[in-house]
Amino acid sequence: MKNAFFYDYPIGKIAIVESAGTISHVDFQCNGKRDFDGFAIFETPLIKKAAKQLTEYFSKKRTKFDLPLSPAGTEFQLSVWRALETIPFGETRSYMDIAVQIGNPKACRAVGMANNRNPIAIIIPCHRVIGRDGSLTGFGGGLDAKQYLLDLEKSEI
């Protein structure tokens, strides 16, 4: 059974989904992009904990998350998402940097696609990945939200 609950944050409404005792999604799909039929709309203790940690993050009181995560993806996607988790708070990496880190320097485009499919936004910090030239590139919550998150992390904690 998947449980979902929705929260308003400075960058918009975010859905947090718990599946089998882990967080499986944190995303912006509650804006009509994801179908929540078949989900129980229920705030479980774990969802509440995740929401609290996100609130602390947006309040500049948290730089790391401590939650059980279960992103579902291919082995390649999982390797990219693990690499994203190593990007320190307040720093960015390019798609090339991530491709090199996972041992596949020619996979920049594939890294971009895996980044795009990250089901646990913010907590698995796909917003910290930018173009090699420093340009902002796609983000599920929109480029304004991505810029907000990067600015939030650059400001003093």
DSSP string, 54-95: HHHHHTTS-SS----B-----HHHHHHHHHHTTSPTT--EEH
Residue with tokens 């990007």: 87
> Above 60 in pLDDT, residue 33?
no
pLDDT score of 139: 75
**What's the pLDDT at 7?**
94
Options 80, 126, 129, 152, the catalytic residue: 126
Q: Check pLDDT > 70 for residue 39.
A: yes
Please say whether the structural domain 75-154 has been given the CATH code 1.10.10.10: yes
- Express each pLDDT in 61-84 by its tens digit: 999 999 999 999 999 999 999 999
What strand order describes the sheet that includes 40-41?
A: 22-27, 12-19, 2-9, 40-41
Give the Cα separation of 1 and 48 in Å (integer): 17
Instruction: Write out pLDDT tens, residues 2-31.
Output: 999 999 999 989 999 999 999 999 987 655
Residue 40 tokens read as 């129980």
* Bridge partners, residue 77, by sequence: none
C-alpha 133/C-alpha 121 separation (Å) is 23
Q: Global pTM?
A: 0.91
Amino acid at 141: G
Strands 22-27, 12-19: pairing kind:
antiparallel
Chain centroid to Cα 139, Å, comes to 9
Asked if 125 and 84 touch (Cβ cutoff 8 Å), the reply is yes
**30 catalytic, yes or no?**
no
Angle value at C-alpha 64, between 52 and 46, nearest 5 degrees: 35
Domain ranges in the chain are 2-58, 75-154
In degrees rounded to 5, what are phi and psi of residue 2? -100, 135
